[in-house]
């Protein structure tokens, strides 16, 4: 029993892998052991990821227009941008669904200021998903979008995030935390605009986009710069949010928000090479209409 328990608690990160990554030539990103995951076991870290699955069939929309060479909502509307932390719950699917909904209501001034809507309500109440147990990556994106359109979510002030500390899904609440009535706010529609690079760029200028990546071992060592997969096997999937794009030293990139708090990556964001579908990030992305 002691041997089994020890194996389960093996740290995910190790210095041998870190040194190997540091010695890869022509790296456009900086590897390290992130403070966010220092000492975390393989089991605990993988609970934060989703299982890779086949992409759900959903009709795609190609957006056309004159997108600028570079654009970021961090510059265009910084007051609308908030980084959240899923903590120990495998709920990135909910954060990447509700986050862009919150963003886009702020961008469009449907809300007079940035309102944080409740990921917790979606995690606990969307019976077609698996709550803190994640589920299948591409299916979770589509299911979450349908829930947002058909059911909606209240504000985080009404139903605050509680699942992160213990990784427990929780039961669907019937009142706000303060026992007042729950008021649900819905999206009006959503569309998959990941048909090509230009369509994604145009989509980003209209609002932040829910997307996903295949997580390889080296991504878990990301500290900053323009990530490109270099080494390691598939660890799982992760739902994230497109918020911008640009180019640095001749390398095109997407700007992406994660839900691992502001101490991770580039203040909660990461950049990833653009135009080559690295880590499947250009496979499927949803523009949420508010």
Label residues 119-133 b or e (16+ Cβ within 10 Å = b).
bbbbbbbbeebbbbe
Specify the number of domains making up the chain: 1
- Whether residue 67 is contained in a domain is answered as yes
Strand partners, 271: 226, 255
- Whether residue 142 is contained in a domain is answered as yes
Write the CATH number for 120.
Answer: 3.90.70.10
pLDDT at position 57 is 66
* CA-closest candidate to residue 228, choices 193, 263, 275, 264: 275
- Give 55-112 pLDDT, tens digit per residue: 566 789 999 999 999 999 999 999 999 999 999 999 999 999 999 999 999 999 999 9
Query: Could you tell me the two tokens for 241?
Result: 């949010």
Query: Could you tell me the two tokens for 109?
Result: 């001034």
Q: Are 210 and 96 in contact (CB under 8 A)?
A: yes
Q: How confident is the model at residue 242 (pLDDT cuts 50, 70, 90)?
A: very high
Cα distance between residue 62 and residue 56, in whole Å = 18
Domain that holds residue 203: 29-289
Q: C-alpha 165: how far from its chain's center?
A: 18
- Whether residue 270 is contained in a domain is answered as yes
- Give 154-191 pLDDT, tens digit per residue: 999 999 999 998 899 999 999 999 999 999 999 999 99
- Whether residue 2 is contained in a domain is answered as no
Q: Are 15 and 38 in contact (CB under 8 A)?
A: no
Query: Could you tell me the two tokens for 172?
Result: 């669907």
- Whether residue 59 is contained in a domain is answered as yes
- Whether residue 4 is contained in a domain is answered as no
- Whether residue 187 is contained in a domain is answered as yes
Mean pLDDT (the chain) is: 92
Cα distance between residue 86 and residue 167, in whole Å = 9
Q: How confident is the model at residue 123 (pLDDT cuts 50, 70, 90)?
A: very high
- Whether residue 24 is contained in a domain is answered as no
């Amino acid at each position: 029993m002691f041997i089994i328990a020890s194996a389960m608690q093996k740290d995910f990160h190790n210095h041998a892998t870190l040194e190997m990554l540091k010695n890869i030539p022509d790296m456009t990103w900086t590897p390290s052991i992130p403070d966010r995951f220092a000492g975390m076991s393989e089991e605990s870290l993988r609970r934060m990821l989703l299982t890779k699955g086949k992409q759900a069939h959903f009709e795609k929309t190609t957006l056309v227009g004159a997108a600028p060479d570079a654009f970021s909502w961090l510059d265009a509307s910084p007051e609308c941008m908030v980084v959240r932390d899923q903590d120990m719950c495998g709920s990135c699917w909910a954060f990447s669904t509700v986050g862009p909904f919150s963003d886009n209501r702020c961008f469009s001034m449907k809300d007079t200021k940035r309102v944080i809507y409740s990921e917790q309500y979606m995690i606990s109440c969307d019976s077609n998903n698996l709550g803190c147990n994640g589920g299948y990556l591409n299916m979770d994106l589509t299911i979450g979008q349908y829930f947002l359109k058909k059911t909606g979510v209240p504000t985080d002030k009404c139903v605050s995030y509680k699942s992160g500390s213990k990784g427990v899904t929780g039961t669907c609440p019937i009142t706000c935390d303060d026992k007042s009535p729950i008021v649900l706010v819905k999206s009006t529609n959503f569309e998959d605009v990941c048909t090509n690079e230009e369509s994604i760029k145009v989509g980003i200028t209209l609002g932040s986009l829910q997307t996903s990546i295949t997580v390889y071992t080296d991504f878990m060592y990301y500290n900053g710069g323009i990530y490109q997969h270099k080494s390691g096997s598939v660890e799982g999937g992760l739902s994230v949010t497109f918020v911008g794009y640009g180019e640095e030293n001749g390398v095109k990139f997407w700007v992406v928000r994660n839900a691992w708090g502001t101490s991770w990556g580039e203040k909660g964001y990461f950049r990833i090479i653009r135009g080559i579908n690295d880590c499947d990030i250009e496979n499927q992305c949803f523009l949420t209409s508010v």
